[in-house]
């Protein structure tokens, strides 16, 4: 390669979540572009999302497992992966978790960031909490260093001392998210060409109305505990 005299200059696009910066080398005699160098070095924000949800028995194994039980005393929640939930960098990129609840979000700019996740932001389910006592569960972590330690979120953690209280409205939200996802994946694995459930279904736990769950054509509704019935979102 023969050395040539060249002009060197840089250009950048300063929008945080779309940040780009390049160095250009142009032949000083001919004006020909000789080389472009990308100056952005992304550092991923990685981590996982899990939640404490009511365990479900297996009815698809031999021999048959124990039947599923609702969120009642003696059937405390267990820590479970939360796939297909959207994790966001505030002012930056976002990614859905994989089948094990893990995520990796590229971030091109230096400095600490804030990362958030909500049960209202599922790929296949949007939890719409009916409870008057509080909104949908949401978690955030501030001052996260891209490329640093993993960011691990845990919905509905056990109290100190454990265990969880039965009939928990928070457990109902996590249950609704996890098990609507499981239902979607069950049908998708058996009817991959169908796609009839490939949309964000609204799941509404903690409804204060009777003992029977129902589909209202716009949402699945799960009554809270009451009237002699346990919570239906289990």
Count of other CB atoms within 10 angstroms of residue 124 = 22
Residues 6+ apart with CB under 8 A from 125: 84, 176, 177, 180, 181, 184, 200, 201, 202, 203
For 171, 177, 206, 227, the CA distances from 183, given in Å and listed in that order, are 18, 10, 20, 28
59: its two tokens = 């009815």
pLDDT at 117 over 90: yes
Predicted local confidence at residue 156, as pLDDT = 97
- Give residue 13's Cα distance to chain centre: 29
7: its two tokens = 């002009």
For 58, 81, 133, 178, the CA distances from 67, given in Å and listed in that order, are 7, 21, 31, 18
Residues 6+ apart with CB under 8 A from 200: 122, 123, 124, 125, 126
Q: What is the pTM of this model?
A: 0.80
Q: For 47-58, what is the mean pLDDT?
A: 88
Where does the pLDDT of residue 2 fall: very low under 50, low under 70, confident under 90, or very high at 90 and above?
Answer: confident
Residues 140, 20: Cα–Cα separation, whole Å: 27
Q: For 2-20, what is the mean pLDDT?
A: 81
Q: For 120-139, what is the mean pLDDT?
A: 91
Top-confidence residue, 215 or 84: 84
pLDDT at 164 over 80: yes
Where does the pLDDT of residue 95 fall: very low under 50, low under 70, confident under 90, or very high at 90 and above?
Answer: very high
Predicted local confidence at residue 59, as pLDDT = 44
Predicted local confidence at residue 111, as pLDDT = 87
Top-confidence residue, 83 or 162: 83
Averaging pLDDT over each range in 48-62, 97-111, 140-154, which range is the top one?
140-154
Mean pLDDT score of the chain: 89
> For the chain, how long is the longest CA-to-CA vector?
87
pLDDT tens digit sequence for 55-92: 986 544 455 556 678 898 989 999 999 999 999 999 99
Establish whether the linkage from the previous residue to 163 is cis, with ω within 30° of 0: yes
């Amino acid at each position: 390669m023969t050395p040539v005299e060249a002009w060197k200059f840089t250009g950048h696009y300063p929008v945080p979540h779309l940040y780009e910066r390049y160095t250009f080398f142009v032949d000083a005699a001919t004006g020909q572009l000789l080389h472009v160098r990308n100056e952005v070095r992304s550092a991923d924000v990685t981590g996982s999302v899990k939640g404490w949800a009511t365990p479900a028995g297996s009815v698809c194994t031999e021999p048959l497992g124990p039947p599923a039980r609702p969120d009642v005393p003696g059937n405390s929640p267990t820590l479970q992966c939360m796939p297909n939930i959207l994790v966001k960098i505030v002012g930056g990129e976002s990614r859905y978790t994989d089948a094990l609840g893990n995520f990796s979000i590229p971030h091109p700019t230096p400095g600490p960031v804030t990362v958030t996740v909500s049960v209202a932001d599922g790929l296949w389910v949007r939890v719409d909490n009916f409870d008057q006592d509080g909104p949908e569960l949401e978690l955030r972590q501030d001052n996260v260093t891209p490329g640093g330690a993993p960011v691990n979120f845990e919905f509905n953690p056990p109290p100190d001392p454990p265990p969880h209280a039965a009939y928990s409205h928070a457990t109902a939200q996590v249950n609704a998210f996890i098990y609507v996802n499981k239902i979607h994946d069950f049908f998708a694995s058996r009817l991959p060409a169908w796609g009839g459930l490939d949309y964000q279904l609204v799941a509404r736990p903690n409804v204060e109305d009777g003992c029977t769950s129902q589909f209202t054509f716009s949402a699945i509704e799960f009554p809270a505990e009451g009237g002699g019935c346990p919570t239906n979102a289990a």
